[in-house]
Amino acid sequence: MDNEEDNSSQTSTIKGTPVRQIAVFLPNRPGAFVSILDLLRTSHAVVLGLSVQDSIDNTVVRLIVNDPDTVETLFIEKGIPFNSTDLLVVALRDGAEQMPDCLRALLKAETNIHFIYPLLSKPEGHAALALHVEDNHFGQAVLSKAGFKVLRQEDLSR
């Protein structure tokens, strides 16, 4: 699938919509996260990736879902504060054993990783990592050149 954001320097393996992460800001109180999960379930949204960062006052929940547009609309309608950002999701065809090679490729390219977490699902039957790097286009090129498949939202959505 072609996307207007893709440019001619990108290869066909990286065409499509970038994976979008939704960060939800929740009060640090019992049941807040479960309420979000229940809300997502009623909208038939599936959580594919998850990271939780907790503090005394609030919690930031990073989500990768099968339908980010629906989830964003739902959060707007319900007045739930959130932020969206594109990130890279890389398939690890040989499983977790391939993670050091993936990270080493980014290290050699001298690009910073702001955060990283595994996906709960196994897209295309493989383990996968969500990576927020300082420059997605550069990170994507580095990983593709190193032989890694960078997944797109279409690869994750059912």
In this predicted model, what pLDDT tens digit does every residue of 59-101 receive, in sequence order?
A: 999 999 999 999 999 999 999 999 999 999 999 988 888 999 9
CATH 3.30.2130.10 given to domain 19-85: yes
Q: What distance in Å separates the CA atoms of residue 111 and residue 158, rounded to the nearest whole number?
A: 31
pLDDT, position 158 = 57
27 DSSP β-pair partners: 58
CATH 3.30.70.260 given to domain 88-153: yes
pLDDT, position 35 = 95
pLDDT, position 123 = 83
Assign 115 to helix, strand or coil: strand
Phi, psi of 18 (to 5 degrees): -60, 150
Q: Which of 28, 23, 1 is nearest to 12 (CA)?
A: 1
**Beta-carbon count within 10 A of 21 CB:** 22
pTM of the model: 0.84
Assign 80 to helix, strand or coil: coil
Domain boundaries, the chain: 19-85, 88-153
* Encoded tokens for 80: 């739930």
pLDDT, position 13 = 42
Q: What distance in Å separates the CA atoms of residue 136 and residue 111, rounded to the nearest whole number?
A: 10
| Residue ranges, the chain, pLDDT below 70 | 1-14, 158
Which residue spans within 16-93 are E strands per DSSP?
Answer: 19-27, 47-54, 58-65, 82-92
pLDDT, position 105 = 97
pLDDT, position 1 = 37
**Beta-carbon count within 10 A of 24 CB:** 20
Asked whether the domain spanning 88-153 has the same topology as the one spanning 19-85, the reply is no
Contact 82, 72 (CB under 8 A): yes
Q: Which of 99-123 are b and which e, b meaning 16 or more Cβ less than 10 Å from the residue's Cβ?
A: beebeebbeebebeeeebbbbebeb
pLDDT, position 94 = 87
pLDDT, position 129 = 96
